[in-house]
Every structure is written in structure tokens, then in C-alpha cells.
Amino acid sequence: ILGFSTPPGRLSMMAFVLNALTCALGLLYFIRRGKQCLDFTVTVHFFHLLGCWIYNSHFPITLTWWLVHIVCTALMAVIGEYLCMRIELKEIPLNSAPKSNV
């Protein structure tokens, strides 16, 4: 079903890309560590590969399937790391004012 020439194929690929973007936001909220984003991304896509293999009863061999998943893995990892690094690199507020009013 994945293909560049048919409208359903393009729509399916667009859904995979949008899923990668929303999963990058999920990495931001659940993982919160830039170093772990690539590990979780590869793990999620590996489990998706296993699920597709079991569901279809054969290993996916089409080039477009692999290209779409490689691009989605890269998008999810890079955007997830970028978002997590922005949170990690925020300044820590150092307040030197006294905590109690005398």
C-alpha cells in the first residue's frame, strides 16, 4: 500500500510521518532525556517491524516500506532529541533571596 504513485500510498506515508512527529512529542513528555531518545525510537520501530512481520506472515522486503520507516525513525529521533535538549538546557533559576521574611 505504500507507494509514491497512488493517493492512498501518499496518504499512508503522510500518516507515518505525522506519527513520527507526534511520537517525538511523546519522547519529550515521557522520556525527557536527549541521550535516550534514539534508544526508545529504535526500540519502538523494532517492535513495529516484529508486529508487521507477525501480522503479514512474511518479512517486509519492499523498498518503500524500508525507506518510509528509516525516514520516520530519523525524524522521530532527531526531533525528539532536539525537544529534550531544549528542556535539559534551560537555565536553572538561582534565587539568592531569603526564603523567610523576618
Is residue 60 in some structural domain?
yes
pLDDT band for position 10 (50/70/90)? confident
Answer whether residue 19 shows pLDDT above 80: yes
Mean pLDDT, the chain, whole residue set: 88
| Packing angle, helices 63-88 and 7-30, rounded to 10 | 30
Is residue 81 in some structural domain?
yes
Query: Based on the structure, what is the number of domains in the chain?
Result: 1
Is residue 58 in some structural domain?
yes
Is residue 2 in some structural domain?
no
Is residue 102 in some structural domain?
no
Question: Cα dist. 85→38, 69, 82, 96 in Å?
Answer: 13, 24, 5, 27
Q: Write out the residue range of the structural domain in which residue 27 sits.
A: 10-89
0.85 exceeded by pTM: no
Is residue 3 in some structural domain?
no
Q: Tell me the per-residue pLDDT of 33-59, one tens digit each, with 9 for 90 and over.
A: 888 999 999 999 999 999 999 999 999
